[in-house]
Amino acid sequence: MSSIQRQFQLFPQISRKSGSRMGILSLPHGKVKTPFFMPIATRGAVKNISPDEIKALGAEIILSNTYHLLQRPGLSILQKHKGLHGFMRWDRPILTDSGGFQVFSLAKIRKITFEGAIFQSEIDGSRITLTPEKAIEAQYIIGSDIMMVLDECTPYPCTYEYAKKSLAITLDWARRSKNHFEKINKKKKLSEKNRPLLFGIVQGSVFKDLREEAVTELVKIGFDGYAIGGVAVGEGINQIDEIVRWTTALLPKDTPRYLMGVGKPEEIVRAVHVGVDMFDCVIPTREARHGRLYVRTKKRAAEKKFYDVLNIKNGIFKEDMRPVDAHCACLLCTQFTRSYLRHLFSTNEGLGLRLATLHNLNFYLRLMEELRRV
């Protein structure tokens, strides 16, 4: 039995109509039920809520970002705090993105070579070099439970030639990441049980043969799990679904599959149904900050229109005495009226952002709970 089979225990659900899976992923900081959604703590804080609140919502794992943490607070401060867990006071598992996506989407001045990515700090303009090895080392200092390899996230649209060249770099970086990861585990004398997991990232843009090549090569290298990257970058829903279907069909059955940065509730539902186990997305927290709240209808997650989005800034809620969602058990819905939440947004009270964030995350986390049941 391989190590990952010990770390990832799948419960075959023979009666399941869809291709959805259910399991438990065992990580250095605890066990996580799959499929799961990770609230995003980009810079070491889930926007507007505290670690005890994240826990109370039932989140078993959160996501943070190497690119942002490298710049602020920087690795030396994280090291002093014995990693991100100590810094932000979160004692459950953390997955960290390698920073590849941000180098390409955020860094204004950057250069990609086979060696790595060089970019200018957003904070002080200093030059930062991120190599596959450095990304791994940074993630050890952060103390990640699940590390991601450095990859090049192709933009959309991009030509076949560009995607092919980019994939060659991504695969080379994946090999180097795995080597460096094994070297460090050996040096740190981490057992198979105590070590973090390392995930490969499938790129290849919208090109099926490149996605296939990516899976084949990554599986040859051998990772603890596989992420589908380079989606939700502008290619549209149908194409995301297609890429997810191609890729999950090819991926090993006994390792976790992670669809990066996706997505809307219905996108998550569809991806779970084709066998994806892990998700992260800024949508619930970002939408909350704009006063858009997710409300369940009476339909089940597999059905159409299983939720509405309520824009609390809308004048129609001015005197609405109902809770945002009468069936929701979050602080917002059990305590306050829509009218009050609207007032908090009108008067720019920080409490409004917090209550809306708690609510939307609760919506996502309860949705995952439902997806684990059916």
Binding site for a copy of itself (CB under 8 A): 43-45, 47-51, 72-73, 76-77, 80-81, 87-89, 318-319, 321, 331, 335-337, 339-340, 343-344, 346-347, 349-351, 353-355
Nearer to a copy of itself, 136 or 330 (CB): 330
Residue whose structure tokens are 């049941």: 373
- Cβ 356 to a copy of itself, closest distance in Å? 11
C-alpha span between 332 and 357 (Å, rounded): 9
Nearer to a copy of itself, 72 or 188 (CB): 72
- Torsion angles phi and psi, residue 341, rounded to 5: -60, -40
- Cβ 294 to a copy of itself, closest distance in Å? 20
165 CB-near residues (< 8 Å, 6+ apart): none
Amino acid identity of 340? Answer: Y
Q: Confirm whether 209 is a catalytic residue.
A: no
- Cβ 71 to a copy of itself, closest distance in Å? 10
- Cβ 372 to a copy of itself, closest distance in Å? 29
Please tell me which residue in 151, 224, 280, 325 is annotated as part of the active site: 280
- Cβ 68 to a copy of itself, closest distance in Å? 8
For residue 157, cis peptide bond before it (omega within 30 degrees of 0): yes
Task: Count the neighbouring beta carbons within 10 Å of the beta carbon of residue 208.
Answer: 12
Nearer to a copy of itself, 50 or 311 (CB): 50
Nearer to a copy of itself, 318 or 327 (CB): 318
- Cβ 60 to a copy of itself, closest distance in Å? 20
8 Å CB contact between 204 and 214: yes
43 CB-near residues (< 8 Å, 6+ apart): 64, 65, 68, 69, 72
Nearer to a copy of itself, 169 or 358 (CB): 358
Strands, DSSP E only, in 163-291? 197-202, 225-228, 257-259, 278-280
C-alpha span between 170 and 100 (Å, rounded): 10
Residue whose structure tokens are 């409004």: 352
Task: Count the neighbouring beta carbons within 10 Å of the beta carbon of residue 121.
Answer: 15
Task: Count the neighbouring beta carbons within 10 Å of the beta carbon of residue 314.
Answer: 12
Nearer to a copy of itself, 88 or 147 (CB): 88
Q: Confirm whether 97 is a catalytic residue.
A: yes
Amino acid identity of 64? Answer: S
8 Å CB contact between 81 and 142: no
- Which residues are tagged catalytic? 97, 280
